[in-house]
Amino acid sequence: MTTSTLGQNTAQVNARPKVLGRAQYAGDLKLPGMLHGKVLRSPYPHARIVRIDTTAALALPGVHAVLTGANTSAVPWGVHHKERRTLALDTVRFAGEEVAAVAAVSDEIARDALDLIEVHYEPLPAILEPDQALAEGTAGLHPGRDNLAHVIEYERGDPDTAFASAHLVHEQTYETHAQYPGYMEPMASVAALDPDGRLQVWTSTQSAFLARARLAAVLQMPASRIRVVQTTTGGGFGAKIVEDANNLIAGMLALATGRPVRLVNNRIEDFLAAATSLPERIRLRLGMDSNGLIVAKEVDILANCGAYCGLSSEVMHVSAMRSDNMHRLAHVRSRARLVYTHTPPHGAFRGFGGTQMLFALNSHIDTMARMLGLDTVQVHRINAIGAGQTTVHGWRIGSTGLQQCLDQCTQALSWHSPRPKGEGVLRRGKGVAAAMHVSGNRTIGNWDGSTVVIKMAEDGRVIVHSAEADMGQGAMTMLAQIVAHELGMPLSHVHVATPDTDAAAFAIGSLASRVTIVAGNAAIVAARAARDKLLALAAQLWQLPPEDLEITEGSVRVMRDPERSMTLAALARQHIWRHGGHEIMVTGTWDAKTQMHADDLSGNIAPGYSFAAQAVEIEVDTETGQVRVIDSFVADDCGKALNPLAVHGQSNGAAAQAIGWTLYEQLHLEDGRIANGNFADYTMPTTEALPALRSGIVESNDPNGPYGAKGASETAILMGAPAIANAIFDAVGVRITQLPITPEKVLAALREQAMGKRDHA
């Protein structure tokens, strides 16, 4: 049989064109007569647009269009609220908001045209903090509404009675900050009208169909008159789902000029335009019995979505609820409030709200374990939800490898061995954290499925059409591996086509770690349908039952007489060239057997749930406050590693991103304006700042996953911050509850610690 690549380290099928520089990103596309777009952005966090004069810009030779809010679509867009105009009209609500757009024959002329646009603003008072936004008498950012964008409240069981019975109750407030996605490729789009007047958009996106739906709504065009193609995408991390205006503006400029338009953000523009992760202030209260079992939980979250809420409502939903489901919890109360401010919008980011809450929860568990004189790992073990159990919110856990993840990471860092703390100014400590995430999520609408189409050419090779996005995580490789495995052919005989709304069936796209479990299952259905057609034809030709045949090494053969065989190419041709024949083209659809959550937010929303754990060792310089991660090990329960190489890449990449959020990355706003919106000033971790990252794989074999697999791209980012914070406490005895953990905060905590010791001397 042809050697299957499933479970084997496999290079990504689209790696070679990337390495050779042949991959086509949106910014690489060049079409005849193409114009170049540029966007003028507000310098104010809040202002009234008194007047815009575009006369000089329009008169500049080479300029073909100047668009403003007054001469473009008035249809607002958004996710939870339809509230954002593509180009601002009357009022700007954050520094960086899109005010005007131009299309010209070159980038240089387009930039010059922006300088010629005269915008007369009347600056208005800006609301920059959530507490200020909620203060009595504060005007709402959006007409006719207060500054609460979304509220979540629920209660399960009897938290008050449970808290009263607890051996230990602890309460603490934690603060998390925004993180820029830091992808290699800024947002880019090319839009053009085809000869039939249909709008064609090539764009860097995580969801071609969600992008098409928004284009159709805002441009007031039938969806069938719009074609969206996902170009090679250089990273997304959530920010390229549907929260930027890049492809909308490109589409508007193409419609206005009748010419192709290329719109590419430079890095500074991308900092202003990209949705960054949601800042949250989390008040957490836990009650535990003397063994460390959590008997009650209470959460209060105040989140700042910025000027528009985008996907922030859904992100906050995850922060409020998801971590409840990783424990055998019966009594919980939660309130979460999302607040508008005149700051750049926040939204989806890898981990999607889990990072914020798991920083608080893991820090809290470590604190309480120490109060009870218990090992933190043991507290995680006693609380962990088990396979086959149903959580407090009605989630049914088909598989979990959390216990094995804890085993792996603690063994890797010799957790139970004696811990030398170091001498002098350098002190060492270890920390551990655990997490869960979804694989799929039935919350966008009452469908969490995928459709894969397979076409077999006359040479016996196949083309796979799927609109699920590959943004670097390996979706194309996973689909190719599954189809090759099912059809008994080499991986090189499978080509996965670029997501294209004209060619592929409807798909939601890459979000909620859904592609492997959902599209993977759909690929199995489609490949087996193609296999059945091949076997049926061979059985007819040989007058044998199909069950006597098998597909192997690119051929169909008789199992009891292997010499009788026919190549897939011959069968593919024969399937066409006969009476009633046709090309082998099959469709496979798989929709998870899950349910939309009820009005009380309960219900089994995902077909699978991923778990992970991380242990780190850090070193604190007590003179400078500098924290250095010496060692890190992430153990990821991905159900089944279809491609271990890709899983390790995702785990360690996520760990690096978490270390950056924890220790280095921070957006600085001055009077509501981003002050460090470039890679020269926004500090991301370099190779020198990272240890030799290590990871392990736990295979819990999920009953709903393809061959047991589930998501492996997000869970690993969730534990880094609390593991580091816990290790800092282990090293020097100070608890940092506000991210990022800067040298200044460490030194301040050490000074307070020293003052406290002197006061008690």
Burial class (CB in 10 A: 0-12, 13-18, 19+), 630: middle
| Domain 31-125+184-235+240-273 belongs in CATH node 3.90.1170.50 | yes
Phi, psi of 175 (to 5 degrees): -130, 135
Work out the percent of the chain whose per-residue pLDDT is above 70.
99
DSSP 704: T
Asked if 274 contacts 284 with a C-beta cutoff of 8 angstroms, the reply is no
DSSP 234-274: ---TTTTSS---HHHHHHHHHHHHSS-EEEE--HHHHHHHS
- Determine the pLDDT at residue 758: 61
Interval 443-465 mean pLDDT:
95
pLDDT digits 0-9 by tens, 641-681:
999 999 999 999 999 999 999 999 999 999 999 999 999 99
What is the mean predicted confidence (pLDDT) over 342-354?
A: 97
Please indicate whether the domains covering 15-20+449-591 and 31-125+184-235+240-273 agree at the CATH topology level: no
Rounded to an integer, the average pLDDT of 90-117 is 98
For 354-439+607-759, CATH number out of 3.30.70.2340, 3.20.20.220, 3.40.50.150, 3.30.365.10 equals 3.30.365.10
* Dist CA 409 CA 414 (whole Å): 9
Q: What is the pTM of this model?
A: 0.97
Domain ranges of the chain: 15-20+449-591, 31-125+184-235+240-273, 354-439+607-759
Asked if residue 281 lies in contact with residue 130, where contact means CB atoms within 8 angstroms, the answer is: yes
Model pLDDT, residue 756: 86
Q: Is the pLDDT of residue 1 over 60?
A: no
Angle between helices 520-542 and 568-576 (to 10 degrees): 80
The mean per-residue pLDDT over the stretch 338-359 comes to 98
Q: How many residues does the chain have?
A: 761
How is domain 15-20+449-591 classified at the architecture level of CATH? 2-Layer Sandwich (3.30)
10 Å Cβ neighbour count for 195? 5
Question: Which percentage of the chain shows pLDDT scores above 90?
Answer: 96
Nearest residue to 533 (alpha-carbon basis) of 581, 481, 492: 581
Tens-place pLDDT, residues 393-430: 999 999 999 999 999 999 999 999 998 888 889 999 99
Mean pLDDT, rounded, for 372-379? 98
Cα radius of gyration (the chain): 27
Taking only the tens place, the pLDDT of each residue in 268-317 is 999 999 999 999 999 999 999 999 999 999 999 999 999 999 999 999 99
**pLDDT value at 757 more than 90:** no
What is the end-to-end Cα distance of the chain in Å, rounded?
A: 76
Q: What is the pLDDT of residue 759?
A: 63
Under 8 Å between Cβ of 626 and 688: no
Mean pLDDT of 17-39: 97
The pLDDT score that the predictor gives to residue 443 is 83
